[in-house]
Structure formats: structure tokens, C-alpha cells
Amino acid sequence: MFGHIDYRNPPELCPVRDVMSVASDQWSILILLWLGYFQVLRFNKLKKYVYGISNKVLSQRLKILEADGYIERKAYPEVPIRVEYNLTEFGQTYVEKLLELAEWMHDNSPKVIANREQYGLN
């Protein structure tokens, strides 16, 4: 692992860092987690669950996540158009990892918040 992340390589030459910077992006994580929970979601539903994201960033992240192979986009030529997003099989395996992370966050965020407040007192 650490042999592989050669610290002397500029970031753009380290594929692990490159891939990680997309997959560990705050909005991407939330998008993937909600897709993991619902299986299929349309653009506006996603926007609703990934609370606070803008159209612009949602649309941009969905494109990257599709390009990287985590999700699939299906457009139905109805009117108004219907577009559905879902995880790929590959995306599923990643979401399993993310769920562990999210669970850790869920269990430990009170502690972090407490730390943060105590630190503020100094």
C-alpha cells in the first residue's frame, strides 16, 4: 500500500489518489450511499435525499461516478424525460466499504463533536 503510494510522485501520477479523490468526495459518498439504500433513484429524488446539493454539482458528480463505473444512467424518452440512476455491481462493492465507514461515523460523531467543543475552550 504505502510502497505503492509513492510520495514522490505528483498527485496526477498516483492512480490510487486520483481514484480516491473522486470516490471519497463528500457529495459522491452521499450519492452512492443513497443509491445503495434505494437501488434506483431519479435525478430529483437524489437531489432531495442528498440534501443541500445543487443541480450543478449533482449533475457533475453523477457524470464522474458514471464514467468511473460506480453507477449507471438510464434515460427513458418520455415527456417529461425520466432518468434513473442505480449502482453498478462494482459500485455495490464500494458502497459496502462506504457503509462501514458511515457506520463508524455514526457511532463516533458524538465523540468528535465533543472533542471539538472542548478544544474550543482552550
Binding site for a copy of itself (CB under 8 A): 1-2, 4-5, 7-11, 15-26, 29-30, 33-34, 37, 48-52, 66-69, 90, 93-94, 97, 99-106, 108-113, 115-116, 119-120
- Residue owning grid cell 450511499: 33
Among residues 97, 117, 108, 111, which one has the least CA distance to residue 32?
97
User: With contact defined as beta carbons under 8 Å apart, do 68 and 23 qualify?
Assistant: yes
Give the one entry of DNA, a copy of itself, none that residue 81 binds, where binding means its C-beta sits below a cut-off of 5 to 8 angstroms depending on kind.
Answer: DNA
Instruction: Give the integer Cα–Cα distance in Å for 73 and 70.
Output: 10
Q: In what order do the strands lie in the sheet with 82-87?
A: 40-42, 82-87, 71-76
The nearest distance, CB 56 to DNA, in angstroms, is 4
Nearer to a copy of itself, 66 or 84 (CB): 66
Give the one entry of DNA, a copy of itself, none that residue 29 binds, where binding means its C-beta sits below a cut-off of 5 to 8 angstroms depending on kind.
Answer: a copy of itself
Instruction: Give the integer Cα–Cα distance in Å for 89 and 100.
Output: 18
Site map (CB under 7 A) of DNA, residues 31-70, x = contact: -----------xxxx------xxxxxx-xx-x--------
